[in-house]
């Protein structure tokens, strides 16, 4: 059966759940979700689904502030480039297994941009206490895609 593109919130949720199914068991990054963040998946899935619904379907259901929890994580377990590389590998593989099309490509491309931005900001932070961080990015109006 040919794969279709990401069309609905339910598609976003399916993608997110499939990704976390992998990420939580991953030998490189799984422990960060399970042991460090002690992620409550049922609380998290609706938020991250909204994040992708906003980016891919223009829903505005996500209100921003994605960086901050990563700064907090970074303070507990230094997030390195290799963690982001593995995150992106799992994400891209999951997208490609389930969907094909323009939005599927955008899901991969935007994840790369965000990962790069997060990594850059974390490296810049160094060992700064995230409690002093008040610079959550809230700008979601952007120009046309390059």
| Residues contributing to the site for ligand HEM (CB under 6 A) | 29, 32-33, 37, 39, 44, 47-48, 51, 54-55, 62, 64-67, 69-70, 73, 79, 83-84, 87, 110-111, 113-115, 117-118, 121, 137-138, 140, 142, 145-146
Residue closer to ligand HEM (CB basis): 3 or 117: 117
Shortest gap between Cβ of 1 and ligand HEM (angstroms)?
28
Residue nearest to ligand HEM (CB): 66
Shortest gap between Cβ of 2 and ligand HEM (angstroms)?
25
Query: Which residue in this structure is represented by tokens 């069309």?
Result: 7
Among residues 17, 22, 15, which one has the least CA distance to residue 99? 15
Burial label, 106 (beta-carbon count in 10 A; 0-12, 13-18, 19+): middle
Among residues 72, 83, 82, 87, which one has the least CA distance to residue 132? 72
């Amino acid at each position: 059966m040919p794969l279709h593109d990401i069309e609905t919130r339910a598609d976003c949720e399916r993608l997110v759940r499939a990704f976390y199914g992998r990420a939580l068991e991953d030998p490189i990054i799984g422990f960060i979700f399970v042991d460090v963040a002690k992620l409550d998946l049922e609380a998290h899935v609706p938020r991250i689904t909204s994040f992708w619904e906003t980016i891919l379907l223009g829903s505005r259901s996500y209100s921003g502030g994605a960086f901050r929890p990563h700064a907090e994580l970074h303070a507990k377990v230094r997030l390195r480039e290799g963690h982001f590389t593995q995150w992106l590998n799992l994400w891209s593989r999951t997208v490609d297994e389930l969907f094909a099309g323009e939005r599927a490509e955008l899901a991969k491309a935007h994840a790369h941009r965000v990962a790069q931005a997060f990594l850059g900001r974390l490296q810049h932070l160094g060992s700064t206490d995230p409690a002093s961080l008040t610079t959550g990015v809230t700008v979601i109006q952007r120009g046309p895609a390059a």
